[in-house]
Structure 1
């Protein structure tokens, strides 16, 4: 007799990894042993610090939140939607739950027993690789790319999953700085300085490493006068060196550096000191190889002195972003990391641009990023939106001062373009005199927008009021922020017009719940996920933040979090808005990476039925948040 329930479960599971890897008969066998769990909103599926179950879960319908903490101190870590797995990693390593899983709405969840799935972990290489990337997402250092950008082809057992660092290959420098046994210290010091390095490997006539000189050796032994610059490298080099083969793993590298109390490892052709040197690995390289630590990458960015290298890092960042999405890292974590690195890239370009200027600026200035980057929500490379604010100067000096900063801005925007940030078609960039002004002129501009609002000023406000200081004097950015909130307090009409703008955004769905697509132009028949979905949520969060005078909160997700605290009666709606925005921003980013564009315009015929359903679920809060704006600001009379 046919088991129709099992077949329905099979049809569902085969859409999602790792089940899509399995053979039809294997998947059907698993489906027969799955338990269907119905949970009401607020029900716990498992609780933090409690023993883990002998099963893991996949969401069939609804949404399950993963929370860290207890009772009112709980913090939302991530949302599991249709097709998302949870509880798998902890089931395998057999530890107490580190988070609680709570139904955010009525949900149907499939429970998959450990004894049913564990054989596939051990026997199926592709399932094994899926788990490697999934587990790495939760490890302290989970960067799983090799030097060539290919995913590590390793397998793991149940026990090995507890220590994934042993499986990661290391990325080393393939063109080490070298010198011969006959070289003088002065020449080596010049060579190290020229190449902005921190070492030189001493090699013999066969190119085998026999010693190493580091910048600390030069400071301790030469700069102190113990050895003259005319000395040979053999006088101060550390010898013998520690060597390894290129198959060195992260764990082995960490142990070797600690065990030998050294800062560099030499990579040779066969791993012995008697073979040819092919690379070098430093403590710094080891940290950079982890890739997911913003502070490490930022330090690396600050060392770079060429735009081409910054462009390379920005491209690598896209690979890292793709890995984060693949591994389902929480959205807030992704936004934080990418924003920090983007800010560091912008700051470094400003520093390099200042070095090209004939002189340093005579007055203080602040470089602001606007729009999505100002909200710290820019994951993909989109158009530049930025501005410069400089200190007030006497009227007779204003033109000269502005000219200086326009020249600087030209170099900055060109540099940003070089590393991948396109020029803004509307020229909302600091290189435009309109967006490069003194603090007093900026204050007047903001006040004009709010006291005599027009369609243009409303549009500009939605971009410029989401600004973020990136470089220079932060007090000027703070002053502008004060002007904005002071103006809002004095002009209810301004907030009302912003509200009208949010209500007039085109709807994502038609009367019969079909997607509304663009009717003409180059994007004809595509769905505009930015204008029809994301912007309403962004605009509403900004308007209500201004309404409540919430200073220093620019990010849309953070705004909804704060609003939920301020309005408990609307907390569920704000929560839904945040949840929808998380899904939309990830969806758009995946589309952008897939099609190598901004991800804004989506061809619906490329989406699966499940993807379309996920999108439609995100549209539910849009009408509700628009209704909040309509009532709060009495907008019917203005429309």
Structure 2
């Protein structure tokens, strides 16, 4: 399985040639390096001009009558699809599926070529009937058809879960397809509005931002746009809000229920200019009151989904160095995280939190998954990690925390084990209040033991947080 950034996925240097190189030279280079693609680059600046695949060359020679001495630039795909080299792998997975391409060029921050990745390098939409489901999403022509496609994805996801697909794998599988659903809904509704001619991007946050959507999920989203000043931001917000509310309504029709807390792009509070988003994050870090901490648990997991990704990347790049400059904020996050401990007593037995309404049960979202999610978020903010998923964050902070590969693997596996128990409960629960609750007595002896071991890992994470912040 591939996690982390796209830079980590690319295992070997790319094959590059100048525009003046011949098809013969291209074929020779591909044969020598056993490569299926090459990038045509500007010789001086190393800027990518286009991409050429082996299939392109074979087609040009055999069917179009191209010659071996012709310049390879004449057969390249100019302005190829590209992403920042440090972007998460999930972004490339979804982009490839949406655009129907098999390769993406990776760029350094200054625009120079870093590498090339192919669809085969990525994890997320492999197998499980994903290709057909993705086609049904992209072919949908209205929200009603999208709702049918979204229901089919959830049904297929439950079948894959029952067949034994791992929890992390199914999270990536469903997140990739759900992203396509949301993107298609936005596309369909965008055509109905005369939107301002400024850069904008739809962001997702919370569990969707972390690629950890389960079978019972609501919306957490926002919108960022470019504005020259405060007055322009007010005017643009009024123009975007009807569109954003229509998208929220469309997503609700597709099974992504409206957020009860109003954290949606259709809420004026979360339809903001880039400068306003920066100010909002700054306020939360400077004044870590309870409301700021609550918002931190949702908004700091943001990622771009539709529109001008560079706006959200700019917000992320601006944010990454900020948290270490606000130790009081990080300490407050740690205090809040430690207020929700794993449900194990001093003797090693389970501690139940359901009270009279849900006797003998444990909330696996709040007391099982949350300790991992919160700790991973805090460390990602401390160490400037771009990743948003809990598993990727825990892997990324292993080095600064001086953790062994075995320790990290134990933490990640424990988190996804708890997620697996949550998935199973969500598929059988009849009461919406029970979708994250489990009665340990309904588990067999082995599963009870596994759950206890996962909670012990969560205790270790929280002990590390406590020592770090002197709590």
TM-score normalised by L of structure 1: 0.51
Superposition pairs of residues 418-437 of structure 1, within 5 angstroms: 418-437=253-272
Distance 1:545 1:396 in 2: 34
Superposition pairs of residues 36-435 of structure 1, within 5 angstroms: 292-357=128-193, 359-435=194-270
Q: Identify the residue that residue 575 of structure 1 maps to in structure 2.
A: 409
Q: CA deviation at 1:605?
A: 4.4
Higher relative contact order (CA 8 A, sep 6+): 2
Distance 2:353 2:385 in 1: 36
CA contact (8 A) 1:534 1:584 kept: yes
Distance 2:229 2:324 in 1: 31
CA contact (8 A) 1:573 1:621 kept: no
CA contact (8 A) 2:210 2:301 kept: yes
CA contact (8 A) 2:252 2:258 kept: yes
The verdict on how the C-alpha distance between 1:522 and 1:311 changes in structure 2, with shifts beyond 3 A counting, is farther
Distance 2:256 2:451 in 1: 28
Among candidates 538, 544, 569, match of residue 373 of structure 2: 538
CA contact (8 A) 2:341 2:459 kept: no
Q: Identify the residue that residue 561 of structure 1 maps to in structure 2.
A: 395
Which digits, 9 at most, give the CA deviation of each residue in 1:295-348, with x for residues without a partner?
543233111012222222222212221222222223332222111101111111
Instruction: Specify the SS of the correspondent of 1:427.
Output: coil
Distance 2:341 2:259 in 1: 23
Count of aligned pairs between the two proteins:
347
Distance 2:403 2:361 in 1: 37
Q: Identify the residue that residue 500 of structure 1 maps to in structure 2.
A: 335
Which digits, 9 at most, give the CA deviation of each residue in 1:484-522, with x for residues without a partner?
222213112221111111111143122333322235475
Among candidates 446, 460, 463, match of residue 624 of structure 1: 460
CA contact (8 A) 2:224 2:273 kept: yes
- Is 2:423 the partner of 1:589? yes
- Is 2:437 the partner of 1:601? yes
CA contact (8 A) 1:528 1:600 kept: yes
Which digits, 9 at most, give the CA deviation of each residue in 1:70-105, with x for residues without a partner?
xxx9xxxxxxxxxxxxxxxxxxxxxxxxxxxxxxxx
Q: CA deviation at 1:572?
A: 3.2
Distance 1:624 1:320 in 2: 36
Instruction: Specify the SS of the correspondent of 1:389.
Output: strand
Distance 1:524 1:410 in 2: 39
Decide which moves more: 329-338 or 452-461.
Answer: 329-338
Among candidates 478, 491, 500, match of residue 326 of structure 2: 491
- Is 2:299 the partner of 1:464? yes
Q: Which runs of 5+ in 2 are unaligned?
A: 3-7, 9-125
Q: Which runs of 5+ in 1 are unaligned?
A: 1-65, 68-72, 74-289
Which digits, 9 at most, give the CA deviation of each residue in 1:110-168, with x for residues without a partner?
xxxxxxxxxxxxxxxxxxxxxxxxxxxxxxxxxxxxxxxxxxxxxxxxxxxxxxxxxxx
The verdict on how the C-alpha distance between 1:414 and 1:522 changes in structure 2, with shifts beyond 3 A counting, is farther
Distance 2:302 2:357 in 1: 30
Instruction: Specify the SS of the correspondent of 1:376.
Output: coil
Q: CA deviation at 1:578?
A: 0.4
| CA RMSD after TM alignment | 2.4
CA contact (8 A) 2:285 2:323 kept: yes
Distance 1:473 1:317 in 2: 26
Q: Identify the residue that residue 206 of structure 1 maps to in structure 2.
A: none
Distance 1:370 1:521 in 2: 33
Among candidates 336, 342, 345, match of residue 510 of structure 1: 345
The verdict on how the C-alpha distance between 1:432 and 1:612 changes in structure 2, with shifts beyond 3 A counting, is same
Distance 1:461 1:428 in 2: 12
Instruction: Specify the SS of the correspondent of 2:191.
Output: helix
Which digits, 9 at most, give the CA deviation of each residue in 1:3-28, with x for residues without a partner?
xxxxxxxxxxxxxxxxxxxxxxxxxx
Distance 2:354 2:135 in 1: 47
CA contact (8 A) 2:227 2:236 kept: no
Distance 1:581 1:390 in 2: 35
CA contact (8 A) 2:209 2:302 kept: yes
- Is 2:311 the partner of 1:476? yes
